[in-house]
Structure formats: structure tokens, C-alpha cells
Amino acid sequence: MIEKIQIVIIAGFMDAGKTTYIKQQLKNSEEKILVIQFEDGEEEFTEDNENLFLKFDREDITDLAEVIKKIDFEVRNNECDRIMVEWNGMLDFQIAVDIFMSHTLKQYSHIENVIYLVDIATGLIMIGQTGVEPITQIMNTDYVLITKNEEKKDINKVRQVKQAFRSMNPDAKVFTSKKKINEKIWKKKDLPIYYFLAVLIVVGWYIFLAPYIEMGGFHFNQWMIVLTAILLEGIPFLLIGTFISAIIQVLIPDGYLEKIYPKNPFWGILTAVIAGFFVPVCDCAIVPVAKGLIKKGVPFGAAITFMVVTPIVNPIVIVSTYFAFNGDLSIVGTRIGLGILCGIVIGIILSFDKAPVKMKRYNYDRICKNCMQSKDAVTRKQKCFAVLKQTEDEFYAVVKYLILGGGISATIQVFGKGVTTAAGAWPIPILIIIFMIFAFLVSMCSTSDAVVAKSMLNQFSIVPIMAFMVFGPMMDVKNYLMLSNGFSKKTVLHIVIVISGVCFGVLILFYLFGGESLL
């Protein structure tokens, strides 16, 4: 098979330094590179004999077949080793895909990498203001290069950019230095099939080795059954939860909730508690809604109450807790009661303290990829598709936390028996803190965390388990990341401290008033 010509697409806004970057590449390379420009930059390429240049305007894009034909002609007549594309910052990436993955060009070339350049000073603000097209580029990019960062002083800013890109495209690697990215740019990626093969090999070895593993007193079989059981129990709730949440997000128009929400702190907190019962949205989807509420003028305290109470009192969470704890209504009731109590206290504290709430100027999680789908959906059929796509995306985004949490729980149960029996005897307040940290780190979706919590009940008393189930939905790593996308660091820290403090206090009270006798 003939080696296909590699294509690298350089995307990003007009002033992100794309042309400069490509020029550098040309200078350092011995090969004949075809540069295809879809941008009218300030900086122009100087024609040279070594490389080839092709340029398209915005008008040309209207006729893709013509564009493809021109590129095809160029490649066929002048042999080139590689192709570099400077993609327009305001063009949908799908157009680039349609051009370079078209049947004609796919025969002898393929897109190797996509690099997104972002100006450290202005990039994020631009992304927040320019609509959907730049997001499509970010979502498809393999690498992100932060440019115009010569001083390398602003570590905070770099972190912000990294965080923002991670929230939009978790797979993209962010680089700050050109040197490092230059090593990757022409490098071939691992074919995904290798991942599958790797898994198959592991599975094959497992089947082959299983009897010997068991003989060594290593209960891998049991571990696997326990983990599978937790997943099998959690996945239906997770799916149904994301499904209903998707229906709400697609069918309820953007900003509707914000509009009807009461603006008075007292009614706000009360509404937060009651509305929670009717809004089957888990903690993963609630943070953007809460941020929207604050933006629309709902008191800070009330919005945060809404954020922390909804994931606990939502109907699916209630059902899953009921199922996991085997129909024990006292557990379900306690979880709801403690959740509401925490929420109200948190709301009151945040309403009374006058710490300034600082929101960031840009707010990109509102421009999520799914909102684009749901806005386009007009007919009933389109809406159905949008709901299912949204369900799928959300499900895949949170199922990893279920696998992680289930894995830890199964490991504790099967292998850590001695350790946890000792730990089970530790003072309850310490266990509460440990379980709150555990809940924070594993970031499980509240629709399925009861299953994991229940599986640890053999080793621990109900109080720390309750800490896991009450604190987890309110605050965890993923909520923290989502919050820090919208608020200043100080505000986020403030929220986290108040929530954790109140939660801990309420659970200690629960313990002192005989929480252990609940079971």
C-alpha cells in the first residue's frame, strides 16, 4: 500500500499566530509541503520554490466540489510530501472534514493531526463570544498550542485555558511550548483498534490464567462478579437518569427555568427544595443550570441550594436508593432529610454572608456541543434524535465515574477486608471525613451512587455511608471543575468550604442524635 500523504490542519482564530506557526514549520522542513489557506490573515506567505501554496476565500467554500477539485489538481500535478491547512477560525470544522475526507482526497491523503492555536490573552474570551463554529474546531482537535505566551509568567492563565479546553475536549493535549508540539505534529496516532486488541488480549489471558489466579488465594473471580454486579445495578439508573435529564434539556427552552425562578432569597430557597423533587436532573447536569440562575439574578444562596438539593431529592435518585437499600424507607428518608437540611443551611449561610460573587466573563459550558443539536431540533423526529444523542453523550461522560467508584468499592470489599475491618472501628467523625473525601474524589453520579454506598455497608456503619450519599451529590471533582469554569477561584473555594462544612456539621449532629441506630 502506498503511504498516504499526511495532512495537518492548523485551526484557531485569526490572530492566534497560525501563519507564523506554519512559516516556522516550512522553514524547518526539508520536504515539499502544500500549504492550503482558508484564511485572510494579516501575514502573508511569500511564495517560494520549495513549497506549494493554495488559497481559498469564504466564497469558495460555498462550492465544496470545486475546492476539492482544485486541491486534487494541485496534488496530482505537483508532487508534494505533506499538506498543511490553515483553517479559518470562524468556519465549521465539519466543512474541513467534508473536504479532506471526501472520497477524492481520501484515496491518497488523510488527516493526521489537528492543532488548535489559542492566544493566551484573548483566546478564551473570543471562544465565549463567537458562537458554535470555533467550538467544533476545538472538539475535533488533537493538540492545543497556547501562543503568544513568551513571558511564561502567567501560570494562572495557562491553567485556566487548560481547564477550559479540558471541559470542551477532554482528549486534546494542551501544550505551551512549540518545541514539544513539533515532535508530535507529524506523528502517527495509535489506531484505536489497538485498544480493542489490548483488551481482548487481557481477556484472553484472564480466561487462561483464571484458575491459577484463584489458586493463589487471590479472589479475582469474586472481584469481577462484585464489580459487574455494581455496574449492572448502576447502569440502568444512570441511563434512565441521563435520558430524563436529556429530555428536559432538549424540550425546555434555554433560560426558561431562569425566567420563572423567584428572585427573593426566602422563596428562592423554598422553591429550590420543592423544585428538586420534580427536576430529575443529577449533579452532573445541575451546575450549568445553577450558574444560569445566578446570572439571571436569582440570589446566590438560593441558586446554590437548588444546586445541592436537586441531585439528592430527584425522583430517580430516590428510586435508586430505595432499590439499593432494599426498600428501606428510613434510609431513603434520612438521605432526603439530611440533604434538604444541608441545602437549606447552606442557602441561608450564603444568603447572609456578603462575600462578593465573582463570575468569569466567559462561560463556555453553556455552549456545549449538545445545545447545538437541541437548538437545531425543530420537528418531533429531530427532537427524538437530539434527546438520544444527548443521553448518549452524558451517559458516556459519567459512566467512567461509576466504573471507577464501583472498582474501588469492589476492591475494598474483596481484597481489603482486614484493613477495612480495622478502619470500621475508627471514630465516626474521622470516617465521615474519609467518606466525604472519597465521595469528592470518585465523583459518582447521584443516580447510581447509592448502589456503591450500599455495597460498603458490610464494612462500615451507616453514618459514614450517609456522608458519602449526602456529600457526593453536592460536591465532587466534576462539580468543582464545572463551577470553576464559571466563577472566580475565590468564590468556588468559598462554596466548597461552606458546603463541606455544613455537610460535616449536619452529619456529626446526625451521629450524635443516634444515627447509628438507624439500622
Helix or strand run (H / E) with residue 386: helix 380-415
| Minimum distance of other proteins from residue 292's CB (angstroms) | 26
Sole window of 124-132, 155-163, 195-203, 279-287 interacting with other proteins (rule: CB under 8 A): 195-203
Q: Among 14, 61, 90, 229, indicate the residue that binds other proteins (CB under 8 A).
A: 229
**Measured distance CA(30)–CA(21) in Å, rounded:** 16
Q: Among 324, 342, 344, 371, indicate the residue that binds other proteins (CB under 8 A).
A: 324
Query: Is residue 365 a contact point for other proteins (CB under 8 A)?
Result: no
What mask of x and - would describe binding to other proteins in positions 478 to 507, judged by CB under 8 A? ------------------------------
Among residues 308 and 463, whose Cβ is nearest to other proteins?
463
- Residue 29 is placed in which grid cell? 522542513
What mask of x and - would describe binding to other proteins in positions 100 to 139, judged by CB under 8 A? -xxx--x----x--x------------------------x
DSSP category for residue 509: H
| Minimum distance of other proteins from residue 265's CB (angstroms) | 39
Among residues 51 and 459, whose Cβ is nearest to other proteins?
459
Query: Is residue 142 a contact point for other proteins (CB under 8 A)?
Result: yes
Q: Among 314, 455, 484, 485, indicate the residue that binds other proteins (CB under 8 A).
A: 455
**Measured distance CA(408)–CA(56) in Å, rounded:** 54
Which residues from 28-67 bind other proteins, rule CB under 8 A? 65
| Minimum distance of other proteins from residue 364's CB (angstroms) | 18
Q: Among 197, 422, 430, 519, indicate the residue that binds other proteins (CB under 8 A).
A: 519
Query: Is residue 206 a contact point for other proteins (CB under 8 A)?
Result: yes
Which residues from 243-302 bind other proteins, rule CB under 8 A? 243
Q: How many Å separate Cα 390 from the centre of its chain? A: 13
Strand order across the beta sheet in which 143-147 lies: 52-55, 33-37, 82-86, 5-12, 109-119, 143-147, 173-175
Q: Among 50, 98, 254, 376, indicate the residue that binds other proteins (CB under 8 A).
A: 98
Q: Among 203, 251, 422, 477, indicate the residue that binds other proteins (CB under 8 A).
A: 203
**Measured distance CA(462)–CA(455) in Å, rounded:** 12
Look at strands 173-175 and 52-55 and give their pairing: unpaired
Q: Residues binding other proteins: what is the number (CB under 8 A)?
A: 74
| Minimum distance of other proteins from residue 170's CB (angstroms) | 9
Helix or strand run (H / E) with residue 222: helix 220-251
> How would you class 473 by CB atoms within 10 Å of its CB: exposed for 0-12, middle for 13-18, buried for 19 or more?
buried
Among residues 101 and 355, whose Cβ is nearest to other proteins?
101
Which residues from 404-443 bind other proteins, rule CB under 8 A? 409-410, 413-414
Query: How many helices (H) and strands (E) in the chain?
Result: 24, 7
Query: Is residue 325 a contact point for other proteins (CB under 8 A)?
Result: yes
- Residue 432 is placed in which grid cell? 465521615
Query: Is residue 388 a contact point for other proteins (CB under 8 A)?
Result: yes
**Measured distance CA(93)–CA(11) in Å, rounded:** 9
Query: Is residue 140 a contact point for other proteins (CB under 8 A)?
Result: yes
- The one-letter code for the residue type at 134 is P
Q: Are 121 and 115 in contact (CB under 8 A)?
A: no
Query: Is residue 331 a contact point for other proteins (CB under 8 A)?
Result: yes
Sole window of 80-88, 190-198, 307-315, 472-480 interacting with other proteins (rule: CB under 8 A): 190-198
- The one-letter code for the residue type at 426 is W
| Minimum distance of other proteins from residue 398's CB (angstroms) | 10
Query: Is residue 448 a contact point for other proteins (CB under 8 A)?
Result: no
Q: How many Å separate Cα 177 from the centre of its chain? A: 25
- Residue 38 is placed in which grid cell? 482558508
Query: Is residue 93 a contact point for other proteins (CB under 8 A)?
Result: yes
**Measured distance CA(449)–CA(435) in Å, rounded:** 12
**Measured distance CA(297)–CA(290) in Å, rounded:** 11
- Residue 65 is placed in which grid cell? 466540489
